[in-house]
Amino acid sequence: MKHDMATYELFFGSLSNPNRLQIIILLRAGPKNVNEICLALGFEQTMVSHNLKRLEKCGMVMVEVQGKFRFYTLNMKTITPLMELIDAHMSMYCSHVVHPDGKMCH
């Protein structure tokens, strides 16, 4: 472990919220500006901006300003191997933890 705990907390915490995860999934299809994200997901604008800020802070998205628009791009270099790793992990160790309806079991 190279970094301090606050760094890991920032990183994992940024990915542990359902709205942020939905934004991430959406951005896998390509860069989008804020309003496009709002429309695609039915989210309120300020909520999206707040969450994009958090994702940007941990390097998960990058922003490109185009006039009054701001296009957000997903950091594929990280997110692709990360999701592969977790998919493999969850398939192997935790296929039981989440029910089809999305609720966890105990």
Q: Does 64 bind DNA (CB under 7 A)?
A: no
Residue 4 or 67 with smaller CB distance to its own copies = 4
Scanning 7-15, 34-42, 44-52, 66-74 for contacts with its own copies by CB under 8 A, the matching segment is 7-15
Which of its own copies, DNA, none has residue 39 at its interface (CB below 5 to 8 Å by kind)?
none
Compute how many other C-beta atoms are within 10 angstroms of the C-beta atom of residue 8.
11
Q: What is the DSSP string of the chain?
A: --S-HHHHHHHHHHTS-HHHHHHHHHHTT--EEHHHHHHHHT--HHHHHHHHHHHHHTTSEEEEEETTEEEEEE-HHHHHHHHHHHHHHHHHH-TTSB-TTS-B--
Q: Does 53 bind DNA (CB under 7 A)?
A: yes
Binding site for DNA (CB under 7 A): 13, 16-19, 33-35, 43-54, 63, 67-70
Binding site for its own copies (CB under 8 A): 1-13, 15-18, 21-22, 25, 28, 57-59, 75, 77-78, 81-83, 85-87, 89-94, 97-98, 102-104
